[in-house]
A and B are shown apart, each in its own frame.
Chain A
Amino acid sequence: MSGSAQSQPESPSARAWRGFKKNRLAMISLVFLIVVSLLAIMQPLVERYLTRFTVVENHPCHRYLPPGARGIPRDNFLLAPVADEASARADLNHDGAWTALELSEALAHEELAMLDADGDSALNAAELDAAPRALTAPAAAVLKTLDKDGSGTLNFVEARIFIDLFPVGEATAWTRRFDTDADGKLSASEFPGLPRPATFWAGTDSLGRDLTVRLVYGARVSLMVGLLATLVSLVIGLIWGAVAGWNGGRIDALMMRIVDVLYGLPFMFLVILLMVVFGRDIRLLYIAIGAMSWLTMARIVRGQVLALRNLDYVQAARAVGASTTSILFKHLLPNALGPILVYATLTVPETMLTESFLSFLGLGVQAPYTSWGALANDGARAGIMLTYPWLLLFPGTILTLTLFALNVVGEALRDVLDPRSQNG
């Protein structure tokens, strides 16, 4: 720090930020959280331009595909230019028109060519190994089951199940959209170009939905519910704690006794009961979660208000005739902000965890929309886990990492903002 900058003392928030920046794990966590949040906020753009697959679209022919497999997005597909050589080649019978069957065939050939590294129009074990979609089973096993003619490689017919990017059913639906004269094929004027495949980066689920975009959508729901529930708990806790701490005496004793008693309640069961009974409304979800998480916040706020309210500067504010609200909001809360902020940060992972609990039990958001807990629930079924592990591992890992990052950031904040506190 240069000497000339010393003339003005460093502000507390600047000092806190300087301390926070020293914690490398916390900085990494913060960046991670920002990236996840940005993706979640921009989910509509993500599905339009990055994943290409939307949250709701399902591809019945592409169920349980491993990460890296490819398919044709239904709505946000890209097209190759019509003049492209591949388009001409796709017109198998050279009649100047494209049928669904031809398109399906052409894209399967294209996929085979992509996987076929040595260009012999057949897939050998090494090529299968390199193909991301071979992940469901070892390449040797795949080869053994599919190689009907015993050649040791998979030719186009044998590999068909493996390379069918654009199954005839989907191709038919796709062609129909452009087939204005309804003659079952696309003439040169109707043909928009060959649809380009997109990659299922995280694989697909039991309905052939893209897991990547569902993870991004799940982030949206999980983070939003976590934040809103924390906000609800913050509001209740602030009001309850401030009223108790400010008034003191009997009111304080009674209000804090109520908090003590509420600590002993099986809140989770009441929330489960509420969700089961009144349906899976997302507003009910975060209000209920927030309403069960405010107790500690109330205790912290009360402690802060109690400690601050008799300090000289508050007495002075009172002496010059400041109103109670203005003392509370202008003089007390800014000074109590540190511990409150710290606890609020640590409440976010807690509420997210509760949300994912409920979603895991099938009580969160409604299908086809989803959250990380619901996704983990889909992947944690006994028959699915071992064969299609990505369905559990991706949502489980991203949820764990996010909770980890939130906890690390919260603890780093506590170290710089509230060093005297010693909880956990």
Chain B
Amino acid sequence: MLRSLAARLLQNLAVLFVVLSLSFLVMKLAPGSPLSKDRDLPPEIEAMLQEQYGLNKPLAEQYFDYVARLAHGDLGPSIKQEAPVADILLAALPYSLITGLQAMAFAILVGIPLGILAAMRPRTFWDHATMAISTLAISVPNFVLGPILILVFALGLGWTRTGGWAGWSDSILPSISLGCFYMAYVSRLARSGMLEVSKLDHVRTARAKGASETRVVLVHILRAGLLPVVSFLGPAFAAVLTGSVVVERVFNVPGIGTFFVDAAFNRDYFLVLGAILVYSVLLVMLNLAVDLVYSVIDPRITLDGKQA
């Protein structure tokens, strides 16, 4: 167990390294520079700034400088915002995390009960209605749902503000528009997983023994039936984080996604790389956590991906 965990961590480190190197290369191959955007700088000042940020060095040297700094835990300076990248991202991270976690909570807490409801009455009106709604919810892009929620709840009813972030109430609409897709997906996974398990022998045995229907569902079906949901959570967290780029834009949330897109447009190299690094680390950790949870729930699965 420990050994496979260590192997996974090492592997993930390698992946992070590859992602960062690729992003670095893409950024550097691109036309344009962080200094060329807004004003025409006198050549000597531009040279000085290039010197200050190390942009005049050969590509390989810049790369090794960056990696060396990273190894010391320094994400470098933001060229546009004149602040350390680490500070900017640290300030932005909570907004993205809260939105993402609430979106996932929404997806799980609403999606699983819906799936159970549908699975307990298969091929009835309730089943069909739940599944049609969830297909619809899967099909609504969050950048369409978000503005519609704003239109109804902020501009129409005046219950919330249209955007920005002054308190927790400003996180409700972004979380819902981000989580809606996953809520629907979770409900379908829960339904099909439970239907699959309910045909198995141990469930029939439980029924034959005279266990109550509630007990059969909650004890005998739910645990195995929710496995597909659990294995979906890793990729879902990943997608929630990426999806937050758009939702942050819609609701003016000052999260990492917003900084990432602006920084990419501005060629703010270190900020872009820092944002990608933070996202990748989050993804990798989440996937690892999900696999851990999975191997606890289903002992047949081991951490190194082999079926025991």
Chain A residues near B (Cβ < 8 Å): 25, 257, 260-261, 263-270, 272-274, 276-278, 349, 353, 356-357, 360-361, 373, 376-377, 379-380, 382, 385-386, 389, 392-393, 396, 399-401, 403-404, 406-408, 411, 422-424
Given A276-B264, A277-B30, A277-B264: A268 and B245 interface contact (C-beta under 8 Å):
yes
CB-based contact B276/A266 at 8 Å? yes
With A and B bound together, what is the CA distance between A376 and B143 in angstroms?
8
Given A268-B242, A278-B30: A400 and B144 interface contact (C-beta under 8 Å):
yes
A-B contact pairs, 5 of them (CB 8 A): A269-B275, A270-B276, A357-B243, A403-B140, A423-B192
A residues within 8 A CB of B150? 382, 385
* Closest 10 pairs between A and B when the two form their complex, measured CB to CB: A277-B30, A396-B144, A268-B242, A403-B139, A404-B139, A276-B264, A380-B147, A424-B188, A266-B279, A360-B143
CB-based contact A273/B284 at 8 Å? no
With A and B bound together, what is the CA distance between A261 and B185 in angstroms?
23
- The A-contacting residues of B in range 134-187, CB under 8 angstroms, are 135-136, 138-141, 143-144, 146-148, 150-151, 155, 162-163, 185
* Contact indicator per residue, chain B 244-286, by CB within 8 Å of chain A (1) or not (0): 0110011000000000110011000000100110011001100
CB-based contact B261/A361 at 8 Å? yes
B132 within 8 A of A: yes
With A and B bound together, what is the CA distance between A349 and B135 in angstroms?
12
Shortest distance from the beta carbon of A299 to any chain B beta carbon, whole Å: 12
Given A264-B287, A266-B279: A272 and B264 interface contact (C-beta under 8 Å):
yes
B305 within 8 A of A: yes
A residues within 8 A CB of B23? 269-270, 273
A residues within 8 A CB of B283? 264-266
Residue in contact with B151 in the complex, picked from A263, A389, A411, CB distance below 8 Å = A389
CB-based contact A356/B143 at 8 Å? yes
B residues within 8 A CB of A261? 11, 15
B241 within 8 A of A: yes
Residue in contact with B144 in the complex, picked from A277, A361, A376, CB distance below 8 Å = A376
CB-based contact B192/A407 at 8 Å? no
Q: Closest A-chain residue to B184, C-beta based? A: A424
B27 within 8 A of A: yes
Q: Closest B-chain residue to A349, C-beta based? A: B139
A residues within 8 A CB of B275? 269
Q: Which of A276, A373, A400 has the most CB of B within 10 A?
A: A276
B residues within 8 A CB of A257? 305
Given A276-B265, A278-B30, A357-B141: A396 and B148 interface contact (C-beta under 8 Å):
yes
CB-based contact B139/A264 at 8 Å? no
B residues within 8 A CB of A360? 141, 143, 246, 249
A residues within 8 A CB of B29? 277
Given A25-B132, A422-B193: A380 and B143 interface contact (C-beta under 8 Å):
yes
* Contact indicator per residue, chain B 7-47, by CB within 8 Å of chain A (1) or not (0): 00001100100010011001101100000000000000000
With A and B bound together, what is the CA distance between A406 and B26 in angstroms?
34
With A and B bound together, what is the CA distance between A385 and B30 in angstroms?
35
Q: Closest A-chain residue to B148, C-beta based? A: A396
Shortest distance from the beta carbon of A289 to any chain B beta carbon, whole Å: 13
A residues within 8 A CB of B287? 263-264
Q: Closest A-chain residue to B181, C-beta based? A: A353
Given A257-B305, A424-B185: A382 and B162 interface contact (C-beta under 8 Å):
yes
Shortest distance from the beta carbon of B210 to any chain A beta carbon, whole Å: 29
B116 within 8 A of A: no
B88 within 8 A of A: no
CB-based contact B19/A265 at 8 Å? yes
Given A361-B249, A424-B185: A399 and B141 interface contact (C-beta under 8 Å):
yes
CB-based contact B189/A424 at 8 Å? yes
With A and B bound together, what is the CA distance between A408 and B23 in angstroms?
37
B117 within 8 A of A: no
B235 within 8 A of A: yes
CB-based contact B280/A266 at 8 Å? yes
B61 within 8 A of A: no
CB-based contact B238/A264 at 8 Å? yes
Shortest distance from the beta carbon of B139 to any chain A beta carbon, whole Å: 4
With A and B bound together, what is the CA distance between A84 and B246 in angstroms?
55
Given A264-B12, A407-B135: A400 and B242 interface contact (C-beta under 8 Å):
no
With A and B bound together, what is the CA distance between A147 and B22 in angstroms?
64
Q: Which of A261, A273, A393, A403 has the most CB of B within 10 A?
A: A273
Shortest distance from the beta carbon of A111 to any chain B beta carbon, whole Å: 31
CB-based contact A273/B279 at 8 Å? no
CB-based contact A260/B132 at 8 Å? no
B residues within 8 A CB of A264? 12, 15, 234, 238, 283-284, 287
Shortest distance from the beta carbon of B70 to any chain A beta carbon, whole Å: 17
CB-based contact A411/B141 at 8 Å? no
B residues within 8 A CB of A356? 141, 143
Given A385-B155, A392-B147: A422 and B196 interface contact (C-beta under 8 Å):
yes
Residue in contact with A424 in the complex, picked from B162, B192, B305, CB distance below 8 Å = B192
With A and B bound together, what is the CA distance between A260 and B8 in angstroms?
12
B residues within 8 A CB of A411? 135
A residues within 8 A CB of B144? 376, 380, 392, 396, 399-400
Shortest distance from the beta carbon of A184 to any chain B beta carbon, whole Å: 45
CB-based contact A272/B260 at 8 Å? yes
With A and B bound together, what is the CA distance between A206 and B138 in angstroms?
30
Q: Closest A-chain residue to B144, C-beta based? A: A396
CB-based contact A407/B284 at 8 Å? no
Q: Closest B-chain residue to A382, C-beta based? A: B162
CB-based contact A361/B245 at 8 Å? yes
Q: Closest B-chain residue to A411, C-beta based? A: B135
CB-based contact B264/A273 at 8 Å? yes
A residues within 8 A CB of B26? 270, 273-274, 277
CB-based contact B238/A403 at 8 Å? no
Given contacts A264-B238, A357-B246, A386-B155, 5 further A-B contacts (CB under 8 A): A276-B30, A276-B264, A392-B151, A422-B196, A423-B228
A residues within 8 A CB of B11? 261
B residues within 8 A CB of A386? 151, 155
* Contact indicator per residue, chain B 113-136, by CB within 8 Å of chain A (1) or not (0): 000000000000000000010011
Q: Closest B-chain residue to A395, C-beta based? A: B144
With A and B bound together, what is the CA distance between A268 and B11 in angstroms?
21
Shortest distance from the beta carbon of B51 to any chain A beta carbon, whole Å: 24
B residues within 8 A CB of A389? 151
A residues within 8 A CB of B135? 404, 407-408, 411
Shortest distance from the beta carbon of B191 to any chain A beta carbon, whole Å: 9
With A and B bound together, what is the CA distance between A137 and B162 in angstroms?
21
